[in-house]
A and B are shown apart, each in its own frame.
Chain A
Amino acid sequence: EAGVTQSPTHLIKTRGQQATLRCSPISGHTSVYWYQQALGLGLQFLLWYDEGEERNRGNFPPRFSGRQFPNYSSELNVNALELEDSALYLCASSLPHHHPLNTEAFFGQGTRLTVV
């Protein structure tokens, strides 16, 4: 069974541009989480989507946005890129939030975004 897949693996953008990152969850998983892992800052929670709706977002400016599609895949969009947006962006998926066995998130390999 395929795990969580993210694309692209690497992305280089210039300051001010927009970046779109994609995530495909494990089959049967409806919850998708996005995290930013900047150097030295650990994992910072960005967004949580479940069954097509945004359930929660972390302490990030509005230029970080996303959506979840009917097939539960997800996009993360970062507008007006700044140099400090350079980071590894990790996507994770889990079973539906109401599922009693939903107690584990599976992570993708991440997208390395570099803003120059």
Chain B
Amino acid sequence: AQSVTQPDIHITVSEGASLELRCNYSYGATPYLFWYVQSPGQGLQLLLKYFSGDTLVQGIKGFEAEFKRSQSSFNLRKPSVHWSDAAEYFCAVASNTGNQFYFGTGTSLTVIP
């Protein structure tokens, strides 16, 4: 069965520092992978997605993620965090045959000045 694990419940980084949010997935075939961001009181906004091809994916707001099949990971990175990046981040996996999306439990990001 598909599943997503986000090992870090909460992360605090200083503004301007680099960021990496971890995501591990379980899926039998090549999955579709997503990162969403949720600002307080808001719905989810897609940051980036991976379907195939180049394993390094560029997204909005300066985020990128790298698909590593050997590690079953899809970690999200940003070289320099801004205070406005403080939010909840969700990794998701979807099968390539259907529309079932499975979400991780999320990582809450706090950015300190």
Contact = CB atoms under 8 A, between A and B. Distances in A.
Interface residues of B, number: 21
Contacts of A35: 103
Of A43, A50, A92, A103, most buried by chain B (CB within 10 Å of CB) is A43
Contact of B105 (A4, A42, A48): A42
Nearest to B4: A42
Tell me whether chain A's interface is mostly helix, strand or loop, or mixed. Answer: strand
Interface in A61-109: 90, 92, 94, 97, 102-109
B43 interface: yes
Contacts, number: 50
Contact of A103 (B42, B90, B94): B94
Given A105-B101, A110-B43, 10 more contacts: A31-B99, A42-B106, A43-B103, A56-B100, A94-B99, A102-B99, A103-B49, A103-B51, A105-B99, A109-B42
24 contacts: A33-B101, A35-B103, A42-B90, A42-B103, A42-B104, A43-B103, A43-B106, A45-B102, A55-B99, A90-B44, A92-B44, A92-B101, A94-B99, A97-B99, A103-B32, A103-B49, A103-B94, A104-B46, A104-B49, A105-B101, A107-B36, A107-B43, A108-B43, A109-B42
